[in-house]
Each structure stands twice: as structure tokens, then as C-alpha cells.
Amino acid sequence: MRQRTHELITTRQQIIRRLGRAAEFKDNETGNHVLRMSHYSRLIAEAHGLGTEAADIVFSTAPMHDIGKIGIPDSILLKPGKLDADEWEIMRQHPLMGAEIIGKHDNELLETARIISLSHHEKWDGSGYPLGLKGEEIPLEGRIVALADVLDALLSKRPYKPAFSVEHSLELIEAESGRHFDPALMVALKKALPEILRIKEIFADEYGALTDLEFKINEVFSHENSAEGYPGVLFSIKD
């Protein structure tokens, strides 16, 4: 019975990750963004004081944050120029679409995925969407994923922007503390930053699409004798 339960949990985790990557492949060549930001989310969660189990859930469900983009027309999602007001209104529906796709569940993993999908575009000052939640009205998981998502977007090359330096990216994020982001998470971000930057390099888009399993193997072989740093958590990844 215990083995069967473990298999069911693992299957749910794999489905969540693969669906999350499927959404990213619509507007990201390698889909590595969803892998990077999931690990960033976990590191920030741990640095903020969440326990191992809670951080594991954030890590496993963060890939579904943009699953609602599946419902956005390609003419809008892939538009090279600026969206007009009508197009932007459609784009702003993707958190609601994502929550609808996942649905409400008693299962903690799936319910957390729904909450993250629905809340990761809310802002600390209440100016976000789709519900205009403010401060601690925004679920903590959504606040963490919002920070991780924007951080990776700033650090990464996109069709509309170059990759920003670490220093410039942190300046932009600090400027949004108390407006876009939970100020309390700034401390966690700084604490987790060294490991975040290691993940950034390992999952760099120029290396092509990497799977979680390839990442785990590479890290274990590179750091098998090290008792410090992020590789320690790799042994708890359920692949």
C-alpha cells in the first residue's frame, strides 16, 4: 500500500511538471524557464523558513503557474510587438484559465498548483490581477512563485529584451519591494541567491532542454563528495 501511494504521488508530480513544460514550450524554445523558476521557488521557500515538505510542494507545483497560457490564442501569446488594450485583457485571463484547467481538489498538491496559477500575478500593493488581492491576502505560495518567475524573466534573454545582469535584475526587484513583491521575501531571495545563480547556469537555455533527471545526474556526479549547498536537496526530488 505504501509503495502504491508513493507511485501515485510521483505520477501526480510528473504530470504537473510535464504540463507546466508544455505550456512553456508555446513561447519558450527550451522550456527551461519553468525548470529554473521551480528550483528558484523552492530555494526561496526554504530560505523564508518553510519546512522541507512545504518547499517540496512549492517546487512540484510551480511548473503549473502559467498553464492557463494554453488557452491564450497564439496571435496574442506570440505577438512580437506590444499588446493592445483588448489583447492585454485577454492575456490577463490566463490565471483564471489555469485555475479552471487544474480545478478544485482535496489533494494538497493539485490544490496548491491551482492556487499558484490563480495568484502568481497578484501584487503586494493590490494592483495585480486577476482578483486584485493585496498583501497577505495573496497566498504565500503565489508570492514566492511571483518573485521566482520575474527573477528568471529578468535574467533571461527574451524576444523583447536582452538578458539583464544579476546586479541590474536585483535592483529592479528591490525597487518593486512593497509594490509588486512581499518585502519579507527580499531577505529570503538574498539568502538563496548563490544557489539560485548555480541553477541559472546549469539550466541555461543555450545548453538546450534539460530534464530534471539529467540535472539530478549532473549535479550528483559533480558534487558527490560535497555535503554543502543545493545538491543535497536533489536526493529528495521524486523522479
Q: Give catalytic status of residue 161 as yes or no.
A: no
In a domain, 226, yes or no: yes
List the domain range (segments joined by +) for residue 144. 2-234
User: Which residues, in sequence order, are CB contacts of 123 under 8 Å at separation 6+?
Assistant: 146, 179, 180, 181
Residues 44-63: tens digit of each pLDDT:
999 999 999 999 999 989 98
Residues 67-78: tens digit of each pLDDT:
999 899 999 988
Cell reading at 169? 535584475
Number of domains the chain is built from: 1
**CATH number of the CATH domain containing 143:** 1.10.3210.10
- For 194-207, give one letter per residue: b (16+ CB within 10 A) or e: ebbebbbebbbbee
Residues 119-170: tens digit of each pLDDT:
999 999 999 999 999 999 999 999 999 999 999 999 998 877 899 999 999 9
CB-CB neighbours of 54 under 10 Å: 18
Q: What is the pTM of this model?
A: 0.84
In a domain, 239, yes or no: no
Using CB atoms within 10 A of its CB, is residue 103 exposed (0-12), middle (13-18) or buried (19+)? Answer: exposed
In a domain, 128, yes or no: yes
Instruction: Name the active-site residue from 26, 69, 123, 161.
Output: 69
Cell reading at 177? 519591494
Statement: residue 81 has pLDDT above 90: no
Q: Which residue has the higher pLDDT, 168 or 11?
A: 168
Residues 47, 144 contacting (CB under 8 angstroms): no
In a domain, 150, yes or no: yes
